[in-house]
Amino acid sequence: MTGPDQHRQVVVIGGGQAGLAAGYYLRRAGLDFAILDSNRAPGGAWQHYWDSLRLFSPAEYSSLPGRPMPHQAGAPYPDARHVAAYLTAYEDRYQLPVHRPVRVTGVERSPEHLTVRTDSATWHAQAVVFATGSWQRPFVPAVPGRELFTGRQLHTAGYRRAADFTGQRVVVVGAGNSGAQIAADLTAVADIRWVTRRPPHFLPDSVDGRALFELATHQVRAHAAGETHTGVASLGDIVATAPVRAARDSGLLTAHPMFDRLSADGPVWADGSTWDCDTVIWCTGFRPDLAATRPLGLHRTNGRIPIDGTRALEDPRIHLLGYGDWTGPASATLIGVGRTARGTVDQLRTLLA
- CATH no., domain 152-202+238-282: 3.50.50.60
Single pTM value for the model: 0.92
3-state helix, strand, coil in the chain (%, to 5): 30, 25, 50
Is 6-136+286-352's fold the same as 152-202+238-282's?
yes
Mean pLDDT by 10 residues, the chain (353 residues): 87 98 98 98 97 91 95 93 98 98 97 96 98 97 98 98 98 96 98 96 78 60 53 65 94 97 98 98 96 96 93 97 90 92 98 94
Cα distance between residue 113 and residue 188, in whole Å = 55
Region for residue 142 given its phi and psi (left: phi exceeds 0; alpha: psi -120 to 50; beta: otherwise): beta
Is residue 101 reached through a cis peptide bond, with omega within 30 degrees of 0 on the bond before it? yes
How far is residue 170's CA from residue 154's CA, in Å, rounded to a whole number? 11
Whether residue 292 contacts residue 286, with contact meaning beta carbons closer than 8 Å, is answered with no
Count of alpha carbons within 13 Å of 275, Cβ hemisphere only?
A: 21
User: Are 171 and 281 within 8 A, CB to CB?
Assistant: yes
CATH node for 6-136+286-352: 3.50.50.60
Please tell me the predicted confidence (pLDDT) of residue 232. 45
Position 56 scores a pLDDT of: 86
Q: H-helix or E-strand containing 36?
A: strand 33-36
Cβ-contact 336, 212 below 8 angstroms: no
Name residues whose C-beta falls within 8 Å of residue 9's C-beta, 6 or more positions apart in sequence: 31, 32, 33, 125, 126, 127, 352
Give the domain ranges of the chain. 6-136+286-352, 152-202+238-282
Other Cβ atoms less than 10 A from the Cβ of 212: the count is: 24
